[in-house]
Structure 1
Amino acid sequence: MNIFKSPLFLIIAIFIAIVGCNSRPEEVKDRTTRVMKGLYSFGPELKSFTDCEEGNEYWVADSAKTLELAYSNFNFEKPYEPVYIEVECHTIKSDSLSMSADFDSTMVVTKVVKITKEIPDGPCN
């Protein structure tokens, strides 16, 4: 019996081809850590970052659990006041089912390098 004529072999081969070719772009993650500089705003419904150099906007996920705390320590009277930050991070595709869906990418912060109320002159101003 020739194995290539077996219907079971054909079904398995088709299944493997479908699974192998069915890549999911939303699961592809860019795990390259880099330092990004820009403006961060935080409030009850929004955690956003605007990259000063490229102007891209990101939803922010604080995996270090220090960015939101440092922002809160400024004791702003109103939410969403921008601050200048420099952070180590990587980006991932935003979840299409959450608040981050309005942003193309989510910036995952792994370390806060600098956070200040003073926004430097240049592209951030």
Structure 2
Amino acid sequence: MNIFKSLLFLIIAVAVTVMACNRRPAEVKEHASRVLKGLYSYGPEMKSFTDCEEGTEYWIADSAKTLELAYNNFNFEKPYEPVYIEVECHAIKSDSLSMSADFDSTLVVTKLLKITKEIPDGPCN
């Protein structure tokens, strides 16, 4: 009986170790912080970001609470005017029950590095 308990404990310990070490690469990459450069548009119903390098469009979540404030400081007459931004962020899967469901991923902005009305020449234009 003692051998059975020891063997059962060993099997459970090995199974837990294998499951803990067997993380999918997408999970690790999804939460990796990175710097992205692109066009940001903000309005009452949508907050979107288009990556200049890849052309990928994301929903934006402003965890730093500085991006929307900086955008509003431009005092645009109409919403959704694009501005060029550089942000430190990480991607998460979009919530299927909210407005972000139209986007595959949501960028969580942790730090605003640059925001300007001037869109630079290159892939963003």
The two structures have a TM-score, normalised by structure 1, of 0.78
Query: Which residue of structure 1 aligns with residue 89 of structure 2?
Result: 89
**Equivalence for 1:78:** 78
Q: What percentage of residue pairs aligned between the two structures are identical?
A: 81
Deviation at 1:31, TM superposition (A): 1.5
Distance in 2 between residues matched to 1:47 and 1:37, nearest whole Å: 15
**Runs of 5+ unmatched residues, structure 1:** 4-19
For 1:42-53, list aligned pairs within 5 A.
Answer: 42-53=42-53
Whichever residue aligns with residue 45 of structure 1, its letter is: E
The CA deviation at 1:55 is 0.2
Aligned-pair distance for 1:109? 0.1
- Hey, what's the Cα distance between the residues in 2 that align with 1:101 and 1:38? 21
Distance, in Å, in 1 between the alignment partners of 2:84 and 2:104 is 21
Q: Which amino acid aligns with 1:70?
A: A
| Counterpart position of 1:121 | 121
Match of 2:59 in 1: 59
Q: What is the aligned partner in structure 2 of residue 12 from structure 1?
A: none
Displacement over 6 Å in runs of 4+: none
What are structure 2's unaligned runs of at least 5 residues?
A: 5-18
Q: Secondary structure at the match of 1:54?
A: coil
Give aligned pairs, total.
Answer: 109
Higher strand share: 1
- For 1:105 and 1:33, locate their aligned partners in 2 and report how far apart those are by CA, in whole Å: 14
CA distance in 1, matches of 2:107, 2:62: 8
Question: Shift of the alpha carbon at 1:47?
Answer: 0.1
Return the offset for 1:114: 0.1
CA distance in 2, matches of 1:87, 1:42: 15
Counterpart of 1:31 in structure 2: which amino acid?
Answer: H
CA-based RMSD: 2.2
